[in-house]
Structure formats: C-alpha cells, structure tokens
Structure 1
Amino acid sequence: MATTRTENHPSAFGLNKQNGQFREQSKPVGLQSMPLAASSLPAKPPSSSQKGSGIPQTSGGIRFGDEWKKCLQLPPKDTRVRTSDVTATKGNEFEDYCLKRELLMGIFEMGWEKPSPIQEESIPIALSGRDILARAKNGTGKSGAYLIPLLERIDLKKDHIQAIVMVPTRELALQVSQISIQISKHMGGVKVMATTGGTVLRDDIMRLDETVHVIIATPGRILDLIKKGIAKVDRVQMMVMDEADKLLSPDFVTLIEDTISFLAKKRQILLYSATFPISVQKFMTKHLQKPYEINLMDELTLKGITQYYAYVTERQKVHCLNTLFSRLQINQSIIFCNSTQRVELLAKKITQLGYSCFYIHAKMMQEYRNRVFHDFRNGLCRNLVCTDLFTRGIDIQAVNVVINFDFPKNAETYLHRIGRSGRYGHLGLAINLITSEDRFNLKGIEDQLMTDIKPIPGTIDKSLYVAEFHSVNPDADEAVRDSGHKGVRKVK
C-alpha cells in the first residue's frame, strides 16, 4: 500500500525538482476540510477507545445514553453561505435512516450535519440493496452518499472483503479511504485498505493477509491482486464506481468488466458521476439489474461558481497570472495546464515571482505525489499547479479560486476543473486565460454547458468567492491575516 511521508521538508525555494514543491517555509493555510492523518493510507482505523476521544468508555465499548451527542468532538460549525445544490433538501436527518449509532457519531464528527440532496436520494435506496445510477454535481456530497450505506452494511463478524470502491486516480483513492476511516472510527474495527498502482505490491499482499472489509482501489491494481489470488472478491456484496464516466472510458472499461467477472452474481453496483456519456448506458444495460436512477442535474455548471475569461496572448499569460495574484483574495488556488512540462515550468515561474507553489502531475513518482497532495490539503501552500490529474473528485474546501492557465479542449474537462472550487455549495471563482486559438473552444463549451463565461472586470466583487471562513487551525488563520505579500494573503 502506498503511504504518505510526512517528514520535515527543506525550507528553501526550489526543493528537489521532482517532488513538486516550490515554496518558502510556511505555516498552514486555514482549512475547513478534513485533515489527513500521518499516513494517508490507513492500515488500521482509529480505535474508539483511544485516549482523548471524548466518548465515555466501559469494558464493553461505548456507553450510550440519551445524551450521547454531547460526548462528540464536533468540528467548528461552518457558517459560510451555501447554494441550493446542497441546501434544497427534503428536511431529512441522518438519524432517519436507522443507521448504527457508532456510524452516526463518525458522521457528525466529520461536521456533516444533515444529508445533502444526493445523500437523501441515495442512502435509503443503497441500504435496500438495489443498484443505483446517480448523477449529481461535483462537490455535493457523493462520497457520503455511497460510503454511509456501504459502512452501515459491513458485518464485522465476517473477515472477508465485503465492499470495493473503484476510483480513477490514486489521489482520490487516498481521499476516499481517509473519509472512510474518519466516519467509521467508532464502529469497532472496520478495516479499510487503499491500493493503487505505482506502489509496492508486497505491501498489499501483507495487508490482505490480515482482515480487510473495504478496499478502495484504482482498476489496474485491484484486478492484478484478484488475478494473483491475493484479493478474494467472490463474497463482495457491494461495488461502487466513483467518477463512473471516467472509469467507463476506453482507458478503464476493460479492467472494470474483468473485475466484475470475479464478483458474485448477486452483488450490488452503485454508479456515481456528474456526467454520463453513452458508455455508461451500455454498461448499465449489461451489468446493472433494474437500477434506481437519480438525476440531480437540471443544469451542468455549478451554482456559486462565478466564471470569467481574460483575453491574452501566450506571452502575456504569466503577467496576467501575477496580476490576478495581486488583486484576488485567495484562500487556496488550483492552476491547470495542459501538459506536464508546462506544469513544471509554470510552477517554477510562480516561485520566481515570490509566491509559494506546489505542482503535481502523473509523471511524478508516487511518493512525491502523495506528499504534495497531503501537504497542499493540509494548507502548507497557497497555490497548486497541475494537469487534469487533479480534476476528479478531489475535495479541498479551502480552494476558492481555479485558474485555467491553459484552456481545456472539451466541456467535460472544463466542468470537472472548475468544480475544484465551490465545494459543497460554497462560493468559488473560475478564471480562464483565453488566447485567439481558444476562442472557438470557449464558445463551444458555453453552448454545451448552457452557461455564460463573462469577460473579466477590472475589479471582482469579493462577495462572489470569499466567505466568512472558520479554520480548524487558528494559528493558520492568524498567519493568513498578518501576511500581505504583493497584496496576496501569503503564508509566512
């Protein structure tokens, strides 16, 4: 299994070029999102009897009473404005679904107060055992929609693999496994494992020699483990496909179908995505049994994300980016390029301009990718330059600005890129640097998404993308308030 190394890093600009980190020594940016543990890949979930859990303990486990909620260690209440994508609910509560109290404790301690629309629609159907085809926008709670029923149905008396979550990228596998551990930490021994390509196979073999209930995996690695007889999946009762449109693309669909051939005939398959191309329909007809269809996509673009374009020449892009940094109030930003070479060159240029910057792309060693993902998520850097590796499902709630340094070629990529801001109904800003060659793509994407990408104004109203932000790290908030390099709230 892959693990994330968290040792101290050198503080100088331009660390070892391969590790994706160009930055000054810094304190964390204030984050609302979930902190990663010392290891991004779990071997064992935190025990409910750990010291400092705040839960009354007896020799028999957690002592429950009428006041069990008062014992929870809840995160600071999130008071930021949210859009109707996550607030237009039926008024249900998580307790309405007859979930185990231990699971409810983990849900509330994640800061999840009420189900979002996709969770309201999905959780009761998934608990019934029925196949699901669910379409909902990025950042509206899809992970919780499938992880909550998945964990509820785990039988701890059985020591075999009971559920598989398939994801298209290694970073998303790490993220989903961490969420699984967080919300199951009071359940008394749910064993979650993440396995991805690019890591040592021997570690996975050793881990699977012990009890594993849930596997979060990329398609190539899990199929390899199955064919080698290491991962026994014949008793898996639930398979989830997150970012299903990507998993059913030509890159992965053969691997997915081969994996399904090893599962029992009576299994439940759940598909979740923001977009469903024709390939999904074909897969559904072949492998799903009378699936319950959920469609919460009246419109494709996210509410709460304001979209602008700046018309520039290629040579003006870096200057334009520098101007944006000086004028915008950025919590964290993700900047997209169309090639790995341009990612590294731009990250170096941003550092030379005096801004902290990490970069990540698929050609980096997995160890460095893990480190960059872990540190950026924990707020150790303001800006991240990346390829489309980072467009799928990555949830970092402090990101309020996305910049397309290179404009994407198609509407689907554009939608997933800008979806990295405005997570869970919060406000966000998407800025596109458009050259003369991009103008036709711009018009085409506007037409396909039925949206309006406006010319960038001289001054951008901060209320469009900046909300009152309460961090889990007060020291980081103070560092942000006290800083002001070139007008950017720069970490010290």
Structure 2
Amino acid sequence: MTHATDSTDFATLALPEALARNLDSLGYHTMTPVQAASLPPALSGRDVRGQGKTGSGKTAAFGLALLARLDVARFRVQTLVLCPTRELADQVAEEIRRLARQMHNVKVLTLCGGAPIGPQLHSLEHGAHIVVGTPGRVEQHLRKGSLSLEHLTMFVLDEADRMLDMGFEDALDAIIDDMPRTRQTLLFSATFDAAITPLADRLLTNPAIIEVESTHSRESIEQHIYALDGLSRFEALVQVLLHYRPSNCVVFCNTRAETQKLAEDLAHDGFSAKALHGDLDQRERDQTLIQFANDSVSILVATDVAARGLDIDALEAVINYQLASDLDVHTHRIGRTGRAGGKGVACTLISDRERMRLLELSERLGQELEPEPLPQPDALSTPFPAPMATLELDAGKKQKIRPGDLVGALTNAEYGHALDADQLGKIKVTARASFIAVQRRALKQALKQLQSAPLKGRRVRARTLS
C-alpha cells in the first residue's frame, strides 16, 4: 500500500517542462496527500487504484499523469476519462485544459449524455487527444463507430463507486471490451467495497494502491446535530439558516420529491433556493449549477446523486434535512464543506425516531455525536437574498464570444448605463449562450446597458435567470 511520499513539492516529479512551468504559473507548488502518493507510480507507468474523495486533488493527480504521457503529435484519442455525471465531466475537462495550457494544441473533448449528439459527432470528425465523458454517451459513440479507442494508452475511471451506484455497469463492460489490453489504467473511488472490487480486479494489473486520509478534519468542519424539539423539519431548517446565514449552502434530502417541495417552500418564504435532482432536464440542471457557483443562488436543495461532482471549494455549510439512508453517505455529505483550508459547518436535523441511527453513526465515526437544542436566531433576522443575479445572453462560443467581450459591453461608458467592473461576478460561456453574474442591485442597469451596447458588433438578447 502506498502512502504520501516524504516530498510534497511538485518540482520533485519527473514532469515534462511545459507541464512543470504551467504548474508554477498556476501557483501549484505543494501536492495534496493523494497527489503525492499517486503521481510517482502513475508517472512511472503503473496502474493505480486510488481512494480519494471529492476535494482531495485527485483530478490534478490523474490530469498531470495523462498529460505527461500524451504524444501531442499523434492526433488520435490516447486517453479516455469516464465520470458518473456531466457536471463532473465538465469540471474534469476544464481542469485538464488548465493544466495543459502551456502544452501545444492539446484537444480535450467532452462526450456526455444530456447534450445533443450532433455537435459531438462533428467534433469527433475533427479528432481529439483526450475524451472525457459519461459511460452511456461514450458507449453510444462506440456503437455508432464515431469514436475509436484503437490508439488508447491510458484509461481513467473517476468516482467508480458512483458509476456502479447509477447502474452504468453494462456500459462500462462494453467500453472496456473495446479497449486495447495494453494500456495504463487509473481507477479512483471514494470507497472500495465488495461491489467495486471485481471491477478493480478486472481492470488493473499489479496496481499501486493509494489510500490517504480525507483532506477534511474535525478542526475544519464544525458539526452539529440538532434535535427537532417539537418543531416541524421545515421550521427547524429555517431557524438554522437564519442563525448561520451562510452565503452558500447545500441542503441534502433523501428523495427527489422532497427536494423539489423544500426548495419551493424556501423560495416562497423569501430564501434564495433552487432544487437539484434527477427529474430536472439538463438545461435546468446546468443553469441551477451556474447560478449556485456564481452566488446568484444561496441555497441548493439536492439529492446525493444530483450533487455528485458538485465542486465548490468555499462551501460554507451543509445541512442534512434528515440523516442519510446510508451512513457512509453522511460522511461524504459533510465532507463537502471545510475544504481547501477553509472552515465549514455541517448541521443535521434529527427526530426522536432517528436517535438509534445517530448512535450507529457515532460509533462508525468514532466520534461522540450528541443532539443539541436548535440555535436561536436574532429576533429581527429575516430570509436573505443572494448577493448576485445571473444574466443569460443568447450568444456563446459559436459566435466567438469570450468573457472579456461581456465585460467590455457592460462597462462601456458610451451607452449610458455602464457598470463598474467590481459590480460583475463570474462568467460562463457555453456553446450557444453566455452567463454573467452581476450585483443584484445593478441588475436593471445591466439589462439597460445590454439593450444598447453591442456584443462583438451585434445586439444580443439578455434575460434574468429566475
């Protein structure tokens, strides 16, 4: 079993010069435990079986390994990275592009379900070095003959446990059968239980086994168990929200129906809340995640599967509307806060009937978890709006739009309603649309500015995402 190496400096790794130079420019100097343990064997060509949770730095670990092995001159698909959800695949592809930005002309392509297949077929005709995708859509392209894995040298399976949970086993089998046997495989999973061991055994040859402690500690996460004390769950949740007033927070529910109703009830009471669950179509999911990431929505009410791949480093709070049905899931939920060296709070609401399961959880964690009275918010405390709002524009990468074009249009003083740059927030440009966060109080001004100011020489339609 491999644990972290003594040296955690990226400079000690045998990386190609362009990768090392880019890491330095990104401010990546010290490896996380999972990176220090997995990168040396991965760079030497060994298979790796890594146990790493969200936020442990595993994306950069396998991203550096696959880029170091890439032969850019050979314009063939050399690496396949499979992820359980489109959101995670998008994040992984973005991180690989960031790591590769000083390498010459590396083409990374995402192939995910929930997106139209036509543009993907067009992109595949033009070729790629690295494909990042979800199992169902990748298998579909293999069946169509639009994707070939003939030249594959590396295969990465990210969050393998969740893929099995989501029923992707048949798709995985079909994809694996289509790969060359002589390849390097890196498999990462939050857990290694009886379900995943056969898959790992089938895929890996003499792997380096990486197990590192989670990057979260009791010091970084302040955990509270709140007894309902005769209140309804909704009333108790409102008290917790008004007491902590987190700038961003995920509330976990156990069912899709409960998730939707709770988000609607919170919004009705004046909170900035939206639901994230499997019954939403892909456009709704994408827009909700964009709004949450750019501070236009403060509270995301989510199921566990829908929130998988959600990667917000500075998440202030996690609230369990009730204990998770699987106690391992509880640990994964609370591990989403207190990351990247920050502090976070994790609150769980429990009824009297859940106390026995709380005892089981306490034993599992080796930590005393005692129910405490609900916090009492200030008497004048009221629901809080998100600080930003999101504008959607009907132009994107297909129209050659870049983030700088949006900033230029909104801050151009010629058109009478210019905003200051510090009134603008995060920008996301997709294939056919662009999203920009603006301070909520400047929303009307921003819409007036966009009615007058051209974007890349043309007028665009803008609307506020609700």
When the two structures are superposed, what TM-score results if normalisation uses the length of structure 2? 0.76
1:317 aligns with 2:241: no
Higher relative contact order (CA 8 A, sep 6+): 1
Work out whether residues 402 and 429 of structure 1, in 8 Å CA contact, stay in contact via their aligned partners in 2.
yes
Q: 1:457 to 1:397 in 2, by over 3 A?
A: farther
Distance, in Å, in 2 between the alignment partners of 1:90 and 1:475 is: 45
* Structure 1 letter corresponding to 2:148: K
- Partner Cα separation in structure 2 for residue 298 and residue 143 of structure 1: 15
Counterpart AA for 1:98: A
Structure 1 CA distance for aligned equivalents of residues 302 and 315 of structure 2 = 14
Structure 2 matches for 1:50-449, cutoff 5 A?
90-249=6-165, 251-297=167-213, 304-312=220-228, 316-449=232-365
DSSP 3-state at the match of 2:196: helix
Between the aligned partners of 2:67 and 2:219, the Cα distance in structure 1 is 30
- AA matched with 1:119: Q
* Change over 3 Å in CA distance of 1:395–1:318 after alignment to 2: same
Give the TM-score, by structure 1 length. 0.72
- The aligned counterpart of 1:62 is none
Question: Which runs of 5 or more structure 2 residues have no equivalent in the other structure?
Answer: 377-420, 426-436, 442-466
Q: How many aligned residue pairs are there?
A: 384
What are the Cα deviations for residues 155-188 of structure 1, in whole angstroms up to 9, with x where unaligned? 1101111111111112111111111122212212
The structure-2 alpha-carbon separation of the partners of 1:349 and 1:250, relative to structure 1 and needing over 3 Å to count, comes to: closer
Larger Cα Rg: Structure 1 or Structure 2? 2
8 Å contact from structure 1 (residues 138, 423) kept in 2: no
Equivalent-residue separation in structure 1 for 2:284 and 2:439 (angstroms): 30
Distance 1:214 1:174 in 2: 13
Q: What residue identity is the alignment partner of 1:241? A: L
Q: Partners of 1:145 and 1:310 in 2: how far apart?
A: 38
Question: Are the structure 2 counterparts of residues 403 and 248 from structure 1 closer, same or farther at C-alpha, using a change threshold of 3 Å?
Answer: same
Q: Shift of residue 431 of structure 1?
A: 0.5
Contact kept, 8 Å, 2:5 with 2:37, in 1: the verdict is no
**What is the CA deviation profile of residues 422-470 of structure 1, one whole-angstrom value per residue up to 9, with x for unaligned ones?**
223432211111123322332222223333334346669xxxxxxxxxx
Is this contact kept in 1: 2:149–2:178, CA < 8 A?
A: yes
Go from structure 1 to structure 2 and tell me whether the alpha carbon gap of 1:113 and 1:374 turns closer, same or farther (over 3 Å shift).
Answer: farther
Q: Is the 8 A contact 2:23 2:99 kept in 1?
A: yes
187-196 vs 387-396, which moves further? 387-396
**Any unmatched runs of 5+ in structure 1?**
1-85, 461-472, 484-492
Tell me the SS of whatever aligns to 1:359: strand
Quick check: 1:243–1:272 contact (8 Å CA) kept in 2? yes
Deviations 1:190-225 (A, max 9, x none): 111112112211121111011211111111111111
SS of corresponding position for 1:310 = strand
Show the 5 A alignment for 1:447-462. Answer: 447-456=363-372
Contact 2:227 / 2:374 at 8 angstroms: preserved in 1?
Answer: no
